[in-house]
Structures are given as C-alpha cells and as structure tokens.
Amino acid sequence: MEADEAHIRSIPWCASLISGPNIVILPTESRAPKTSTEDALFAQTLKTPDTISGCLTFYEQPGSSSASTSAVAPINKISTLVSLGSGVNGYPHVAHGGLVATLVDEIMGLLLSVNKHPKVVFPDIGRTVTAYLNITYLKPVATPSTILVSAQIKEITGRKIFVRASVEDRWGVALARAEALWIRVDKEKEKL
C-alpha cells in the first residue's frame, strides 16, 4: 500500500488533491491480499503495472459529532485515485466499460466499509451487497491515465442505502456517472 501512495503522490495533480490539511488517506483494503481470496480481483489480478499500477483512497475529515465524545461524524464521500494501464483496455487506449463499472462498485463498497468503524456515528450498516448499479458512460476512459472515482451516500432508508458515484479525468471532466442501491444483508439469511 505504501507503493500505491508513492505512485499516486508522484503525479502532480494527484498530489495536490491529497495534500490538504483535512485530507485523510486510507489504505485501499481491497488491494491487500487475503488468505480467504476475498478481494483477489483487486489484490492480485488488477494489481500489476499493466492494469492498476496505483490506487489511493482518501476523504475529507468530517467534524466531530459531539464535543463531549470521541465519536466521529459519518464519512459521506470518499474518492480514489486509480492509475490505469493498457491491460484494462476494451478498445485501443480506452478502458473496458466493465472495468469502469467494477471500479465504481468497488469505491462505493469502500465508502460503506469505512463507515463501519465503531467510532463513526452512523446507522448500523453491517454487511452490504449491491442490488443494482446503473452507469451512464459519458466519455471514454483513456489509458494509460489516472482517474478520480468518487462515491457519496445519497440516502439511507431502512435496509436500503442509495449511493451515487462519478469518474473524472485529471481536469475534472466527467467520464461516467452512476447510482446504486446497496442492501444491508439480514444476518439470519447471511448464514444460508
């Protein structure tokens, strides 16, 4: 994960995005290999110089929810800088649309995951799965390039969590937009 951060910091426009005083850098957990093979797609298959050579997740530190406690306000938005190589192409110099959808889904999942921390004041998210993901592709995602994928919680209603996301290039041009419904999985049904 240190290699990912060093790679992203070596790109000037990325370094400026993550250099603010309230920016919190997170290890992108799905980039770490696990013995269970969970996250193998991001930790192994897509972690090469020709696929995703660097990946760094960050967010802006929310304020404390209460001055008298050590609780932290929910993290409503996270962003991930992703360096793509030609190994993710669907067309020459263009990332496959399925990979773009995979990145959006992954960053949405990271957003929900970061809010599971015990100190975060947030409705109990528990285990979640994607129910649907709708993507609008606006422009091709060029390769090689580094893009910014951001996810934000739109609404929580019961077990339903509505999330939106965007994919942008270095100039802030929108390449894709997405919305998704994530469902909190009932722990009783989870065992089936």
48-74 pLDDT, tens digit per residue, is 999 999 999 999 987 654 444 555 678
**CATH number of the domain that residue 152 is part of:** 3.10.129.10
pLDDT of residue 72: 65
Around Cβ 191, how many Cβ atoms within 10 Å? Answer: 6
Average pLDDT over residues 128-151: 97
pTM, two decimals, is 0.88
Question: Measuring CA to CA, which residue among 151, 150, 85, 161 is closest to residue 123?
Answer: 161
pLDDT of residue 71: 59
pLDDT of residue 131: 94
Residue 192 binned pLDDT confidence (cut-offs 50, 70, 90): very low
pLDDT tens-digit readout, 81-100: 999 999 999 999 999 999 99
Q: DSSP letters of 59-96?
A: EEPPPBS-TTS--B----EEEEEEEE-GGGEEETTEE-
**Contact yes or no for 128/110 (Cβ under 8 A):** no
E strand spans, the chain: 23-26, 52-60, 77-84, 89-91, 94-95, 128-137, 145-157, 160-168, 174-184
Domain range for 133 is 2-62+71-190
pLDDT of residue 69: 52
| Residue 98 φ then ψ, to 5° | -65, -35
Residue 14 binned pLDDT confidence (cut-offs 50, 70, 90): very high
DSSP classification of residue 25:
E
Q: Which residues contact 64 (CB under 8 A, 6 or more apart)?
A: 70, 71, 72, 73
What CA–CA distance (Å, rounded) separates 49 from 155?
Answer: 37
Instruction: Look at the chain and report how many structural domains it folds into.
Output: 1
| Residue 191 φ then ψ, to 5° | -75, -15
Show the CA angle centred on residue 66, arms to residues 61 and 67, nearest 5°. 95
Average pLDDT over residues 141-152: 98
Furthest-apart CA pair in the chain: how many Å? Answer: 56
Residue 163 binned pLDDT confidence (cut-offs 50, 70, 90): very high
Higher local confidence (pLDDT), 179 or 187: 179
